[in-house]
Amino acid sequence: MRIKNVKVFDTDYQFKDGEIGILGERIAADAPEDEVFDGKGCYAIPGLMDIHFHGCVGHDFCDGTEEAIQALADYELSCGVTSITPATMTLDEETLTRVCRAAAAHKNEKGAELVGINMEGPFISKEKKGAQNEAFVHRPDADMFHRLNQASGGIIRQVALAPEEEGAMEFIRQVKGDTVVSVAHTTADYDTAMAAFQEGASHVTHLYNAMPPYSHRAPGVIGAASDHPEVYVELICDGVHIHPAAIRTTFKIFTDERICLISDSMEATGMKDGEYALGGQAVFKKGNRATLKDGTIAGSATNLMDCVRVAVKEMGIPLESAVRCATANPAKSIGLFEKYGSLEDGKYANVVLLDENLEIQAIFLKGKLVER
């Protein structure tokens, strides 16, 4: 198959007029013209990868059921997100074990491909718990992590950690060979965050949120991440979590080489306004804002493709940068760029066609056109 008449998001992260060859499940420049799909001048981008979201359409990953995982996968694919690493919450080990086992059992027969788990909690700070449940906050425990990773079939791609907590540095040393350690829900100062990065942490969860703010005398996690060139940072561009000026400033500081756009969406995403749940706590959705009863922001109610649109249309981020930060960078940050995140020969043929208004015109999942 060949997808013709498209603006291809090339390996230099620019759009170029061209076509895409697909042979079986993979991108192949020399694919035969046995079938031609007319892209009608659309942008052809890699399928998005959301490495941090909790739920959508009335389901949460921590429901720990096949029904929930499939609902998440179906909705995400319909939004042009072809690969997902849904996130857990701060819960007890028994519940997290059940969630991990459900993920391990999922077959990826349809919908977005579940390529891993983002373990957000319980190794966090109570002072910066955000919408996490304080009752289940746990000291950093490598043995607990390894038990959960074993239950998942070894697919925990990322684990959140407050590096100021007792035992955190030893935790990093013990798990960094098995997963990505992400600084998150933390009161850490600059020196503590830098120590964590030097030990092997390489990621920051939802930058600015659930951490001390950046200031000229106390740059904190944000300043430390900026000073460490191998650290990726997550950014929620839903128009609620971070002011547009702060988004633009972040792109100037970190550039589009180190930012990963995420949705951090919860079960109210794709649903009408009303009361929902996150980690066992009541959440109230109004428009694209989701909050706890006390007004604390509780994840987002926006999918990743809509975050890309907001970044481009409302925040002034170039389309090329937004696409890179929602495709290649997430795949690189969790070690999956060999198969995902770009339209290079040999990678999975996950392709999304967008018109000039960034509306989806077609989705290909591993070479097959998705019925929408």
User: So which residues are the catalytic ones?
Assistant: 264
Q: How many CB atoms lie within 10 A of CB 32?
A: 10
- Which three-class secondary structure string do you get for 46-86? ECEEECCCCEECCEEHHHCCHHHHHHHHHHHHHCCEEEECC
Longest pairwise C-alpha distance within the chain = 63
Q: Do the Cβ atoms of 131 and 298 come closer than 8 Å?
A: yes
* Tokens matching residue 72: 């998440």
DSSP for 146-184 reads: HHHHHHTTS-EEEEEE-TTSTTHHHHHHHHTTTSEEEE-
Peptide bond just before 140 cis, omega within 30 deg: no
Distance CA 112, CA 123 (A): 28
Residue 134, CA distances (Å) to 68, 92, 96, 121, 306 in order: 24, 11, 15, 10, 31
DSSP for 78-144 reads: HTTEEEE--B--S--HHHHHHHHHHHHH----SSSEE--EEE--SSS-GGG-TTS-GGG-----HHH
